[in-house]
Amino acid sequence: MDIGDSPDEAAFRAEARGWLEQNATRRDPTKRHRQASTDVEQDIHARACQQWQRVLYDGGWAGLTWPKRFGGRGGTPWQAAIFAEEQNKFDVATGAFAVAHGMVAPTLMMHGTDAQRGHLDAMLRGDDIWCQLFSEPEAGSDLANVGTRAVIDGDEWVINGQKVWTSGAQHSVYAILLARTDPDAPKHAGITYFILDMRSPGIEVRPLRQITGVAHFNEVFLTDVRIPVANVVGEVNAGWKIAHTTLSNERALIGGGNTSWSIQELIEMARSFGRTDDPIVRQGIAKAHTRAAVLQYMGYRLRTSISRGEMPGVVASTMKLFYARHWAATTALALSIQGADGVLWGESALDDGLWQQTFCGQYAVRLGGGTDEIQGNVIGERALGLPREPTIDRDLPWRETRGSGR
The residues annotated with a catalytic role in the active site are 250
- Could you list the residues that contact another protein (CB under 8 A)? 1-6, 9, 78, 81, 263-264, 267, 276, 279, 282-283, 285-287, 289-291, 293-294, 297-298, 300-301, 303-304, 307-308, 318, 321-322, 373, 375-377, 379-380, 383-390
Taking the complex as a whole, the smallest distance from the CB of residue 278 to another protein amounts, in Å, to 11
Exposure string for 114-148, b = 16+ CB within 10 A, e = fewer = eebbebbebbbbbebbbbbbbbbeebbeebbbbbb
The residues, ordered by sequence, that sit 6+ positions from 115 with a Cβ below 8 Å of its Cβ are 230
Distances, alpha carbon 132 to alpha carbons 48, 50, 104, 193, in Å: 21, 18, 8, 11
Of 133 and 378, which has the nearer Cβ to another protein?
Answer: 378
Taking the complex as a whole, the smallest distance from the CB of residue 386 to another protein amounts, in Å, to 4
Of 108 and 314, which has the nearer Cβ to another protein?
Answer: 314
* Alpha carbons 237 and 256: distance in angstroms, whole number: 31
Distances, alpha carbon 108 to alpha carbons 115, 135, 193, 263, in Å: 10, 20, 11, 37
Taking the complex as a whole, the smallest distance from the CB of residue 215 to another protein amounts, in Å, to 32
Of 115 and 386, which has the nearer Cβ to another protein?
Answer: 386
Taking the complex as a whole, the smallest distance from the CB of residue 126 to another protein amounts, in Å, to 29
Taking the complex as a whole, the smallest distance from the CB of residue 167 to another protein amounts, in Å, to 26
Of 69 and 271, which has the nearer Cβ to another protein?
Answer: 271
Of 113 and 283, which has the nearer Cβ to another protein?
Answer: 283
Per the CB < 8 A criterion, the answer to whether 64 and 79 are in contact is yes
Of 258 and 377, which has the nearer Cβ to another protein?
Answer: 377
Rg (CA), the chain: 22
Taking the complex as a whole, the smallest distance from the CB of residue 206 to another protein amounts, in Å, to 34
Taking the complex as a whole, the smallest distance from the CB of residue 320 to another protein amounts, in Å, to 10
Interhelix angle 279-307/263-272, nearest 10 degrees: 170
For the chain, how far is it from start to end, CA to CA, in angstroms? 49
CA atoms within 13 A on the CB side of 82: 22
Q: DSSP assignment of 199-232, as one string?
A: TSTTEEEEEE--TTS---EEEEEEEEEEEEGGGE
Length in residues, the chain: 406
Of 23 and 304, which has the nearer Cβ to another protein?
Answer: 304
* Cβ-based neighbour number of residue 403 at 10 Å: 7
Element (H, E) at 244: helix 239-256
Per the CB < 8 A criterion, the answer to whether 242 and 306 are in contact is no
The residues, ordered by sequence, that sit 6+ positions from 211 with a Cβ below 8 Å of its Cβ are 360, 363
Q: Where are the alpha helices (DSSP H) in 344-403?
A: 354-360, 362-367, 372-378, 398-401
